[in-house]
Amino acid sequence: MSFDYSETQILVAQSAKEFAEQFIRPHIMKWDETQYFPTEVMHEAGKFGFMGILVPEVYGGSGLGYHEYIAIVEEISKVDPSIGLSIAAHNSLCTNHILSFGDDNQKQKWLPKLANGEWIGAWGLTEHNTGSDAGGMSTTAVKDGDDWILNGSKNFITHGKSGDIAVVVVRTGNKGDSRGMTAFVVEKGTLGFSSGKKEDKLGMRASETAELVFQDCRIPDCNRLGEVGEGFIQSMKILDGGRISIGALSLGIAKGAYEASLKYSKERIQFGKPISSFQGISFKLADMATEIEASEVLLHKAAFLKNQGREMSKLSAMSKMFASEVCVRVANEAVQIHGGYGYTKDFPVEKFYRDSKLCTIGEGTTEIQKVVIAKNILK
C-alpha cells in the first residue's frame, strides 16, 4: 500500500474541487437557510462522473476505486458537506446496491441513468421504530403471483422526495429473522409509492431527508435484487462500503474546518500578534492536524482492503467511527478558535459544526461501530 496519491487521485480531487467552487460555493448559505436540495447540481455532477464513481464503464460509470471515491467526496465536503453527503449516499447505497447484487439485466436497466446523473438514487432500510435494530422492521412485501405488494414506510431517507429510484429492504419473513428480509428496486411514479414528511434538520440542510411510503405498492418480481431473504445480509455488506463514504465525508468536514481555522488564526490579531502564535491556539491546531492525518490513513487502509476484495468490516467500522468523532472535535475547536465570530454565519465553521454531528449517527452510530469492532476482535 502506497501513501502517495496516484495521478488519478490527484486529477479527480482537482476536478471535484473545481466542481465544488463553480457549482456549490456561491450558493451554500442560501441552500442551507432554505433547506433547498439542488437537484440541478446533482445532475451536473453526473457530467463530471461523480454519480457513478464506482460503476464500471460498461454500465456508463467512471470505473474508479475507493481511493478516488474518498478524494471526490472529501473535496466536495470541504466546501459543502450537504452535497458531499448526497453524492456519497447516491453512490455508495442505492447505486452500489444495484451494482453489487443486481443481475446484468438490472444493471443495464438502471445503472446508466444513475451513473450519468439523469436519475438520483435513494436507499431505504431505516424505519420509525427500527433505527439500529433493522431486523425489527415492519414494512412488508407479500408475493402475489408474479408481483410483490409493498406496505409500510421508511424514514430518514436521503433523497426521499426527489429520488427517481429507490432500493428498499423490506420484510418478507418473520421479524427478527436475518433471512426474513429482501431488497427491491422501486421507481418513482409506481402506483402506491410516494414520499412523506421531509425532516427539518440541525445540519446537512441542503441534503434532502424524507419518508418513503408504500401503500399497496405493486412491483414485478424482476425488481427483486438477489434471492428472497438476502436483503439484510446484502445491506450489511453495502454498509461496509457506506462507512468509508461517511468517513470520507467526515474527513472533508474536518479538513474544511481546520483549513478555515488555520487561515483565521494567522489573520486574527490580538495583543499585537496573530493568535496562531499563542500556545493555546497552536496546540489546538496541532491536535486537529494530527487527528485528521490519522483519520486519513485509517480510511485509506479500509479503502485498500475494499479495493482488494478483502474482509474489511472491522476497518470500515474503525475508520468511520474515528473519522466521524474527529470531525466533530475538529469542528468544535474550529468554532472555539474563531471565538465569537465562529458562532456567526459569516464564517464557515458554524456550518461545519452543525453538519459534523450527522457523521456520528448516519450509516450506523458510533455505538454500533463499536459493536461491529468488538465482534470482530473477539471472535
User: Is the alpha carbon torsion for 74, 82, 239, 146 positive or negative?
Assistant: negative
Percent of the chain topping pLDDT 70:
100
CB 32 within 8 A of CB 200: no
Alpha-carbon gap, residue 287 to 336, rounded angstroms: 14
pLDDT tens-place string over residues 133-188: 888 899 999 999 999 999 999 999 999 999 999 999 999 999 888 899 999 999 99
Predicted structure pTM score:
0.96
CB 207 within 8 A of CB 38: no
Catalytic annotation, residues: 363
pLDDT tens-digit profile, the chain (379 residues):
678 889 999 999 999 999 999 999 999 999 999 999 999 999 999 999 999 999 999 999 999 999 999 999 999 999 999 999 999 999 999 999 999 999 999 999 999 999 999 999 999 999 998 878 888 899 999 999 999 999 999 999 999 999 999 999 999 999 888 899 999 999 999 999 999 999 999 999 999 999 999 999 999 999 999 999 999 999 999 999 899 999 999 999 999 999 999 999 999 999 999 999 999 999 999 999 999 999 999 999 999 999 999 999 999 999 999 999 999 999 999 999 999 999 999 999 999 999 999 999 999 999 999 999 999 999 8
CA triplet 208, 251, 126: central angle to 5 degrees?
Answer: 40
Residue with cell 487521485: 9
Alpha-carbon gap, residue 298 to 308, rounded angstroms: 16
Alpha-carbon gap, residue 54 to 8, rounded angstroms: 14
CA triplet 125, 154, 204: central angle to 5 degrees?
Answer: 85
Alpha-carbon gap, residue 77 to 253, rounded angstroms: 6
Alpha-carbon gap, residue 201 to 224, rounded angstroms: 32
The DSSP symbol for 363 reads: T
b/e code 179-208 from CB counts within 10 Å (16+ = b) = ebbbbbbbebebeebbbeeebebebbbbbb
Alpha-carbon gap, residue 319 to 115, rounded angstroms: 26
The DSSP symbol for 358 reads: G
CB 183 within 8 A of CB 158: no
The DSSP symbol for 127 reads: B
3-state secondary structure of 229: coil
Alpha-carbon gap, residue 120 to 32, rounded angstroms: 20
